[in-house]
Amino acid sequence: MSRRSVVLLGALLPTLCSSAAAMADELDLPRERIAPMAPPFVHPHEQSTSKGPKIVEFSLTVEEKRLTLDDQGTSIHAMTFNGSVPGPMMVVHEGDYVEVTLINPGTNSFAHNVDFHAATGALGGGALTLVNPGEQTVLRFKATRTGVFIYHCAPGGDMIPWHVVSGMSGVVMVLPRKGLTDRNGNPLHYDRVYYVGENDFYVPRDEKGKFKSYASAADGYADTMEVMRKLVPTHVVFNGRVGALTGKNALTARVGETVLIVHSEANRDSRPHMIGGHGDYVWETGKFSNPPETDLETWFIRGGSAGAALYTFRQPGIYAYLTHNLIEAVELGATAQFKVEGPWNDDLMTQVEPPEAIGTQVRAVPRTTAQYDH
């Protein structure tokens, strides 16, 4: 299968590689090496900058590993960037250069590459980054457009969807150099940023309806493709498994803090919703050059893209953050939680009367003229 991937992209490589090599050493810019963090967390970064462009270095190591999807022990042979599903979020500013070292250890079984939706040319870098087990490569591209953008593995043919739904996607966030703004150009700031990567998985079942397990990814390939082609996922989850962002793993914030939520789905559409909250400012298409929409109850993430939402928490408590296809949220696992601490505001919400038996108390309602005018 890795051989097939090489053949599909190999015809493009000579021309693209020669032109890329000519450019390789022409940039005399400062460099910054970033240590990516596993989602939902994001590496430290400036929200705006007055400095000039730089080369920002990242490293992605492909790790093929077994991934447990739920508390019942259902597992797949996942393919990951840096061992996490989704892969890490990489943050730069418009005009910076993103330089990524892609490493495919010799212990892996398949060829891999990266298609960066933020990049221009060469299949988003896919034609220049294809590496077999035991190889590595370095790609550099200029971040010319602001927003949040998917990256994913795309080694060719039916390997593309298989690798993507096996966990190989992540996000690049390209911030405007002056930072985020509202539609009137006023600055927007966030106190925390979280990356929620939504993934759909397709696990084959045996004749009794039980999820199957395989000795290797290759062993499960034919059965998995059969399930995938029916377009009905067995799991839809945030950050790699059911419950990855709930309970003790809930995302945290405090009343008064503004949180930026970056949400990606590399394969299917999604409908993020915050129960008890809103999207104060939402870049539904994920592109910061477009003015944000405001006060959204639910927003739409197109398959193969990422979006971003700012929300300032106004009440404490547990907030459910989910896809508002409630079947997928409740039955298949696409739910996260925010645990928010701080003082309660009765003006925003209060329980006027606790639950009690019907008819045991009649609450007096003041009679007003307006009640009887019509």
Which residues belong to the active site?
112, 115, 117, 152-153, 163, 168, 273, 297-298, 324
> How many Cα atoms occupy the beta-carbon half-sphere of 59 within 13 Å?
10
Token pair recorded at residue 160: 């593309």
Q: How far is CA 113 from CA 79, 122, 311, 346, in A?
A: 12, 12, 35, 53
Cα distance between residue 195 and residue 41, in whole Å? 6
- Tell me the C-alpha distance between 87 and 260, whole Å: 18
Give 108: exposed, middle or buried? Use CB within 10 Å, 0-12, 13-18, 19+: buried
Evaluate whether 342 touches 314 at the Cβ level (below 8 Å): no
Q: What is the DSSP letter of 165?
A: H
Alpha carbons 40 and 58: distance in angstroms, whole number: 17
Rg of the chain over Cα atoms, rounded to whole angstroms, equals 23
Task: Check: CB of residue 63 under 8 Å from CB of residue 170.
Answer: no
Pair 296, 282: CB distance under 8 Å:
yes
Contact 125, 60 (CB under 8 A): no
Comparing CA positions, the residue from 115, 40, 142, 42 lying closest to residue 305 is 115
264-300 burial by CB neighbour count: b if 16+ within 10 A, else e?
bbbbbebbbbbeebbbbbbbbbbbbeeebbeebeebe
